[in-house]
Homo-oligomer: A and B are copies of this chain.
Amino acid sequence: MSEALQKDDASIRASRERFVALWGQMGSNWGIPRTMAEVHALLFIRGKPMNTDEVMDALDISRGNASMTLRNLVDWGIVQRVHRRGDRKEYFEAEQDVWKLFRTILRERKRREIDPLIHQLRECRAGGSADTDVQENDESAAAHNARLEELLSFLALVDLMCQEILQPGEGSTDAMELAARFMERDT
């Protein structure tokens, strides 16, 4: 039996490593530093709190890197600090509910990237000149503004959808319900 267990352990360890690499790759595709995604993957797949040294060892990264990365993850709200009585070290634990994880990331990216984009885009609308009366060459101005408006109205929609998904009432249990509502075709 101990043999079977060992083999099982090895296969889990292999699976973990593969997952960490995969998640890291995925992160860097979406503008998240590879190491940050890897640290998150490690904490997620382990499912138990780990301290800085354990993370350093598992991923073979420096203390400084581990420290900053963990802090970032905590700032993002997808990893939490955990303290253990009688242990001076700090431990870190990843959110285990995938839907909650997704919503946290969505909330944060909306706040940091989408909202500022919308605001800046609004300020970008040429000069604010409501002069729709100037003619001739002005065709281009009208078209230019129309393009910005179209973009803004699309972003308003995205904003609305985010709000819907992030609605505080929406518990993790309701994920499927939300999806079902979305998916429902009017046949």
- List residues of chain A with CB under 8 Å of any chain B CB: 1, 4-5, 7-9, 11-12, 14-16, 18-19, 22, 26, 28-31, 44-45, 47, 96, 98-99, 102, 113, 117, 120-121, 124-127, 129, 131, 134, 136-138, 140-141, 143-144, 147-148, 150-151, 154, 157, 160-161, 164, 175-176, 179, 181-184, 186
Contact = CB atoms under 8 A, between A and B. Distances in A.
Q: Is the interface of A mostly helix, strand, loop or mixed?
A: helix
A19 to B, nearest CB: 5
A120 B23 CA distance: 10
A69 to B, nearest CB: 18
B11 A126 contact: yes
Given A26-B113, A26-B117, A18 B143 contact: no
A102 B154 CA distance: 9
A121 B22 contact: yes
A164 B183 contact: yes
A49 to B, nearest CB: 14
Given A12-B126, A157-B175, A150 B98 contact: yes
A140 B16 CA distance: 12
B147 A161 contact: no
A1 B144 CA distance: 20
A144 B28 contact: no
Given A129-B11, A137-B5, A183-B164, A144 B47 contact: yes
A29 B108 CA distance: 13
A120 B22 contact: yes
Contacts of A9: 137
Nearest to A152: B98
Contacts of A7: 127
A143 B47 contact: yes
